[in-house]
Amino acid sequence: MDKFNDPANGQEQRAMEISDKELETALQDFKNSIHAWSDAAYHRPRTLAAEVRHRSWRVALGWALGCFLVAGTVSGGIFERNHRLELARTAAAQRSADLQRQLHDQQAAKQTDEGLLADVDTDVSREVPSALEPLAQMMNDDETK
């Protein structure tokens, strides 16, 4: 404990107090200058630089994809409509061909029936059967001579 009662130690303590005061003053000045600088930095007018973003390709790509989708949808609809019209034309042509074939078959059957009836009529209306016709002609030739 002699250490605390030593007069040289008291000088050191006073020097320490002085240096503590100097240090405290220096720290206080530093703190004040920092606060002043911060206030000045916060209150100064600021201009923000416009950030240039190169997103034009994204916009162009979005529009291109949108146009592609619209064109695909429209062309798909047109293709489907034309396909249905072509199927309807094919079906109408098939019905028309079937109707024509039926009419032709009916006419052929009618002609066949009429032809058969005409043959029967000629056979029945003959004076002489066709097998004896040459003989009948010879007799007619003899009568005319």
* Inside any domain, residue 132: no
Domain enclosing residue 84, as ranges: 71-111
Per-residue pLDDT band for 72 (boundaries 50, 70, 90) equals: very high
Name the 3-class secondary structure at 35: helix
Higher-confidence position of 43 and 74: 74
* Inside any domain, residue 40: no
Position 1 scores a pLDDT of 47
Q: Where does residue 108 rank: exposed (0-12), middle (13-18), buried (19+ CB within 10 A)?
A: exposed
* Inside any domain, residue 96: yes
* Inside any domain, residue 130: no
First-to-last alpha carbon distance for the chain, in angstroms, is 194
Q: Identify which of 69, 50, 53 has the alpha carbon closest to the alpha carbon of residue 61.
A: 69
* Inside any domain, residue 83: yes
* Inside any domain, residue 15: no
Q: Virtual CA dihedral for 18, 23, 24, 25, nearest 10 degrees?
A: 90
pTM equals 0.38
* Inside any domain, residue 76: yes
